[in-house]
Amino acid sequence: MFAFGFAGDRARPNWDSFGKQLVIALNTPNTGLQVSAMQRIIQYADSLDIYGARYAVMDIFLKSENAHIRRLALVTLNKINSRFDLGYLQLHYPYEKDTMIKKHIAAVLLDAGWNVPGQ
């Protein structure tokens, strides 16, 4: 006899466990793992409870010297949609030195319905 596996036969994803593993990945010193975790959060944000990831993502945004990783962190923060983090980004905006990051912060704030300082 042959056994065939169909998509309908598989158990539903365990989103709680997946979200917890993403938070663990964000808290590692491995940049590649952090980037992958942020990409998965962006991809599956509607299915995940990833509010706990906001601390690690904000930390990555603030401490990374790589502009691409900082932009990825901004998009991730936008998906997490924490009013505390958005408030911090609003306060941080005037002091951001990188013009592209500054434009991305403005885009995140506007997307969330927040005011951009000085505009």
Is residue 100 within 8 Å of residue 71, measured between CB atoms?
yes
pLDDT digits (tens, 9 = 90+) for 15-59: 888 999 999 999 999 999 999 999 999 999 989 888 889 999 999
DSSP string covering 5-30, please?
--GGGSPPP-HHHHHHHHHHHHTSS-
pLDDT surpassing 80 at residue 67: yes
Q: What gap in Å lies between CA 78 and CA 105, rounded to an integer?
A: 9
Give CA–CA dist 74/48, Å, rounded. Answer: 18
Yes or no: say if 100 and 67 are a contact pair by the CB < 8 Å rule. Answer: yes
Enumerate the domain spans of the chain.
14-111
pLDDT, residue 4, reads: 46
pTM for the whole structure:
0.85
CA–CA separation, 32 vs 49, rounded Å?
A: 22
Confidence of residue 7 (pLDDT cuts 50, 70, 90): low
